[in-house]
A and B are shown apart, each in its own frame.
Chain A
Amino acid sequence: AQSVAQPEDQVNVAEGNPLTVKCTYSVSGNPYLFWYVQYPNRGLQFLLKYITGDNLVKGSYGFEAEFNKSQTSFHLKKPSALVSDSALYFCAVRGRLGTYKYIFGTGTRLKVLA
């Protein structure tokens, strides 16, 4: 069965500092991996995805994520956090075989402190 774990409910970081939001996954075979961001009273917005190729994926708003197959992780990173990055972040996984179902993690609330 597919699953996604986001071990931290909340991450606090000072503005200008690097940030990391953690995600680990479990899926049969090679996964498709995604990060989404949700602002209050809005739907989820796509940030970046890993399908194949380079393990370091760059996405919107200066975010990037590193796929690590041996650790089954896909952590979201940004070199310098902005207050406007404060939001709820979701990791999602989809298997390559079988049904086309995205499984989302429980979300991590990022707070960037001025």
Chain B
Amino acid sequence: DAGVIQSPRHEVTEMGQEVTLRCKPISGHDYLFWYRQTMMRGLELLIYFNNNVPIDDSGMPEDRFSAKMPNASFSTLKIQPSEPRDSAVYFCASSLGQNSPLHFGNGTRLTVT
């Protein structure tokens, strides 16, 4: 079991550029979550999907953020345009069913200068 795979591990970009973060969930898992972690706000849920369908995106901070899940094995989180305040560690997690725990990837550390 390869676990949840996120890419890239680190991303450094300039303000105004588009950033795309990628996630491959564990095979067979039907829930996928995107979280953001910062020192100031801790872990924030941005959006989650069930069977590739977005269920709750109330945590997405602004229209600059968008997330897609075109199939069961791939999801993206896009920020366009990026701003310095978007600097954080972004985690993807997946789970199987509603009673099982979340399995997290190792995160993408985003730095926007």
Q: Do A and B bind each other?
A: yes
Question: Which chain A residues have a beta carbon within 8 Å of chain B's beta carbons?
Answer: 32, 34, 36, 41-46, 49, 51, 90, 99-107
Known contacts A49-B101, A100-B48, A107-B42; is-contact A43 B4 (Cβ 8 Å): yes
Q: Which bracket fits the contact residues of B?
A: 20 to 34
Decide if A43 touches B93 in the complex (CB within 8 Å).
yes
Q: How far is the CA of A30 from the CA of B50 in the complex (A)?
A: 23
Write out the residue numbers on chain B whose beta carbons fall within 8 Å of the beta carbon of A46.
101-103
Decide if B107 touches A43 in the complex (CB within 8 Å).
yes
10 tightest A-B CB contacts, nearest first? A43-B104, A46-B101, A104-B43, A44-B104, A106-B42, A99-B56, A43-B106, A43-B105, A42-B106, A43-B91
Write out the residue numbers on chain B whose beta carbons fall within 8 Å of the beta carbon of A41.
106-107
Write out the residue numbers on chain B whose beta carbons fall within 8 Å of the beta carbon of A51.
99
Which residue of chain A lies nearest to B4 when distances are taken between CB atoms in the complex? Answer: A43
Q: List 26 A-B contacts (CB under 8 A).
A: A34-B101, A34-B102, A36-B101, A41-B107, A42-B106, A43-B4, A43-B93, A43-B105, A44-B43, A44-B91, A44-B93, A44-B102, A44-B104, A46-B102, A49-B101, A90-B43, A99-B55, A100-B98, A101-B48, A102-B33, A102-B45, A104-B42, A104-B43, A105-B42, A106-B42, A107-B42
Write out the residue numbers on chain A whose beta carbons fall within 8 Å of the beta carbon of B43.
44, 90, 104, 107
